[in-house]
Amino acid sequence: MKSVFLIMIVVLMSGTTWAIEKLPGQWSFQGGIGMPILFDSDFYGTWDEFDASYENGELITYPFGDGSIVNLGFAGDLQYRFENSAWSIYFGTHAYALFSEREGGAEIFPNIEASIVQYSTLMNSIGVVYDFGQLEDSWNFALRGGANLAFTSARGLNQFLNSEESHFLMGMGLEFSPVIRYNFEKLPFSLELNNFVGLPIVSFDDTLHRSFSEKVRVYYMPTIGMRWWM
């Protein structure tokens, strides 16, 4: 993932004055992949810390700093740029998921509470984008911001006991992203780098479960993708 971002930066820095024709007042669609980073100390713990927090009935310390980790995100949006304006409105969705498996699994440790922990969040958003520079430029810089409705799922699975514990949460928040966009010559496509930052406002859950209690979390997720100008 880091190498992909570096390649994009090199392309942007070496860009020429190539341009593509874009009509004012038009729709575009963007899709990309990313890597989420969450700013909570209880998120990147070890499996030992996970076991201790579970047994003590505390807020779970997630084991995403230990074991076999999968960390993935995606983002997409439908955007409309107003005629003769630098402003656009967008309807977007982005999501991220983390997965950790205990080394050895439940087959070796059959009495553990969980051998696999999964955490995922889906956000649907609406907001505005302000573009700097002209549409005919080879590259653009933009700022986007909006409000989102988030749906979070946290699950602990024990493969040996065939048991599962889940918790779901809905919340609202704000999102911001600086955007770098490179426009390909004579093609209706752009290479786009977003840097999503999510700020929670409120969660619609007033209960505290003994385990897998959740909250809407502050996150950062860089994504790289393609925008199609329709």
So what's the pLDDT on residue 135?
Answer: 62
So what's the pLDDT on residue 214?
Answer: 52
Cα 203 to Cα 131: distance, rounded to the nearest angstrom: 32
**Residues of the chain with pLDDT > 70: what percent?**
68
pLDDT band at 225 (very low <50, low <70, confident <90, very high): very high
Closest CA to 87 of 125, 20, 142, 146: 142
Residues 127 and 145 sit within 8 Å (Cβ to Cβ): yes
CATH class of the domain defined by 2-229: mainly beta
pLDDT above 90 (res 145): yes
Closest CA to 120 of 158, 67, 166: 166
Sign of CA dihedral 183, 184, 188, 189: negative
All structural domains of the chain with their residue ranges = 2-229
